[in-house]
Amino acid sequence: MEVAIALDSSSSKPLYQQIYEELRQAILKGRLPPGSQIPSTRSLSKSLGISRFTITQSYEQLNSEGYLETIVGSGTFVCKQLPDELLHSTPIESFSKVIQNPIKLSRYGRILIYADNVAKIDDSPLTIKFRFGRPAFDQFPIELWRRLLSRYCSADQNWLDYSIDPLGYRPLREQIANYLSRSRAVNCEPDRILITNGTQQALDLILRLLIEPEEIIAIEDPGYLSARLIFQTHGAHILPIGVDESGLIVEQIQKLTSSNIRLVYVTPSHQFPTGAVLSLSRRLQLLAWAQQNGTLIIEDDYDSEYRYNGRPIPALQGLDRGSCVLYVGTFSKVLFPSLRIGYLVLPKSLVSIFTRAKWLSGRHLPILEQQVLAEFIKAGHLERHIRKMRSLYDQRRQTLVQALKDYFGKRATILGDQAGIHLMVCLQTDLRDEEIIHRAAEVNVEMTPASPNYLNLDSKGNNSRGEFIFGYGELTKQQLQEGIRRLAKILIT
């Protein structure tokens, strides 16, 4: 079916958003009736004369909101079951509300309107929560931390003023540099480390400084949703690249004929969410390709400290001879996420511009916490804590794997249990993800579906995959066993 789309090249609204809105209006007003086929991304991109990525982004948004469905081998169609209330609602309600709002939003702000997943903090009252990325809070040495805080708090008053280290507290950068080169074979000196407000700020600064709107960023699919949201809100085009048991399928990038990819985002040590470890040969392939194409790589090394079998593979950054890797790390998993301390290891040439951007966007992190953390690492507490936690998480991981095997047998396929503090499980069931989550909540268990981390739909054309992320870091042996027992009871009939 032909569809007329009017684009306004003078508008500050990104093209993918204009297409999204035009198609959404056409559906809501009945110009594109339920069940009708819409043009393929290829043909629409040809007829509008704009890139296929732009069209794909608009279709993806419409797919995820339930307006379109893709049937593999047949095409993309307007959903047959549009909710009634949708058909009677004001078109693009949230957007028109903002337009009427006396305060005009920027392009970034307007894109954020659609990013429903942002700032959704989990506060469910369920008792057993299989959440990802949470360390064992009850094991954190709070008393020791409190003593260090009070020692630095009373020692002198220097920490009350603005920091004189715009890159971050220098002794902390020295400790991080030591730690990274020792434990991760990362190639770095303190003067190439920028202390950031967690991984999120590191990614945000990278996007601000290195990427123009409409430029292409390749990401793992599935991949870390919070990273993708940053890339999308900055107006980048997202190019999904598949993942298998050896991590990012680098061959897919190599095969692309026009490779004007500016940035590749990867989680090589423990792919998020599948848990795959990027093989050494793929690491080398990826680096060689990036160097050849002048592409930068973001290496998000968020939980590599926890590896349970085999020798750790050195960080990509340590293998890089061409300064194309931006290495991002965080203390959210090895210590605790509210600390909000992460770091970015930069090529020398980028240090000065990143320092300025960091200073403008928030000056620096609280000095007191940076001092405490520097001392915590220097005195050996960090590595002691990691050793202790590695052994605890290993036990928890084995408990979870055993419980899944005992209760689900072949109905559960376990992925990515060799590292990190979560694993992924593929459940064989006819139930949709929403139904599984609903039933689990009735027995007080919180499930985390993997589907929001996917860009591409599954082979049935939907995003309900039966795949769930099981974080085990914060759950005791009893909770893990009881959680899986309850799930089996409600899911296996």
Residues that bind ligand PLP (CB under 6 A): 132-133, 198-200, 224, 267, 272, 300, 302, 330, 332, 337, 342
Judged by beta carbon, residue 228 or residue 385, the one nearer ligand PLP is 228
Judged by beta carbon, residue 63 or residue 200, the one nearer ligand PLP is 200
Q: Which of left, alpha, beta for 133 (phi over 0: left; psi -120 to 50: alpha)?
A: left
Judged by beta carbon, residue 95 or residue 302, the one nearer ligand PLP is 302
CA atoms within 13 A on the CB side of 132: 23
Q: Report the alpha-carbon distance of residue 263 to residue 228 in Å, rounded.
A: 12
Judged by beta carbon, residue 19 or residue 206, the one nearer ligand PLP is 206
Judged by beta carbon, residue 14 or residue 342, the one nearer ligand PLP is 342
Closest CB 267 distance from ligand PLP, rounded Å: 5
Closest CB 341 distance from ligand PLP, rounded Å: 8
Structure tokens at 486: 């309850």
Closest CB 81 distance from ligand PLP, rounded Å: 34
Judged by beta carbon, residue 190 or residue 337, the one nearer ligand PLP is 337
Closest CB 385 distance from ligand PLP, rounded Å: 17
Closest CB 268 distance from ligand PLP, rounded Å: 11
Q: Report the alpha-carbon distance of residue 325 to residue 291 in Å, rounded.
A: 10
CA 300 centroid distance within chain? 9
* Largest distance between two CA atoms of the chain: 73
Nearest CA-CA partner of 153 in 371, 374, 377, 339:
371
Q: Report the alpha-carbon distance of residue 40 to residue 76 in Å, rounded.
A: 7
Q: Report the alpha-carbon distance of residue 329 to residue 342 in Å, rounded.
A: 6
Q: Which of left, alpha, beta for 222 (phi over 0: left; psi -120 to 50: alpha)?
A: beta
Residue 313 · residue 302 · CB < 8 Å: no
Judged by beta carbon, residue 422 or residue 486, the one nearer ligand PLP is 422
Q: What is the residue type of 70?
A: T
Residues 6+ apart with CB under 8 A from 268: 247, 248, 277, 278, 283, 299, 301, 313, 315, 316
Closest CB 302 distance from ligand PLP, rounded Å: 4
Task: Report strand pairing: 467-471 vs 422-427.
Answer: antiparallel
Closest CB 344 distance from ligand PLP, rounded Å: 11
Q: Report the alpha-carbon distance of residue 410 to residue 431 in Å, rounded.
A: 16
Closest CB 134 distance from ligand PLP, rounded Å: 8
Closest CB 283 distance from ligand PLP, rounded Å: 17
Residue 213 · residue 236 · CB < 8 Å: yes
Judged by beta carbon, residue 95 or residue 470, the one nearer ligand PLP is 470
Judged by beta carbon, residue 24 or residue 228, the one nearer ligand PLP is 228
